[in-house]
Amino acid sequence: MRLKKGSAAAKAWGAKMRKLRLGVSSSKSKIGGKMAKRRAVRRTIKRRVKRTSAKMNLGMTIAGGVGYGALRQKISDLIAPLTAKIPGGVYADNLALGIVSYLAAKQGGKLPMGKYIKQLGVAGLTAESVLAGVDLGSNMFKSNGSGYSYFS
């Protein structure tokens, strides 16, 4: 709470601060002076932009892709009972692995060795997106001899 200028409380506060600045001594031989007022200086605060994700270098991207490629079949075998329940047909495996990759990319940073799990998740999302696109493209654009037919 601020004190009103010129009030009794403000004067008492000023007297108290003067005593503290000059110091209280038992002897009267001390010669004290007033402390010079300091000028208020405005300082600009430089704020840094928080990055949502660290820059991924090329080596980490390649390592993530290789790691996901090595683990893909094992993960697919582990979630095969769940994949059978998804009504996706050809896309069920890609969809289930895409969900696992998404969760790894999103929540992987909170786990031990999270940086690497997150990188595997990002690589998995990329790979599953590509595979889903290939499946979708091969089923959508089938050649019927006289060109391409859509949704045949």
Mean pLDDT score of the chain: 78
> pLDDT tens-digit profile of 59-94?
777 888 888 889 888 988 888 888 888 887 767 888
pLDDT of residue 11: 92
User: Is 0.75 topped by the overall pTM?
Assistant: no
CB-CB neighbours of 59 under 10 Å? 8
Range in 46-55, 72-81, 130-139 the model is least confident about: 46-55
Q: Does residue 149 sit in helix, strand or coil?
A: strand
Cβ neighbours of residue 86 under 8 Å, at least 6 residues apart? 92, 95, 96
Which one is predicted more confidently, 93 or 25?
93
Q: Backbone phi, then psi, for 148, in 5-degree steps?
A: -100, 135
Read off the DSSP letter of residue 152: -
- Per-residue model confidence (pLDDT) at position 145: 57
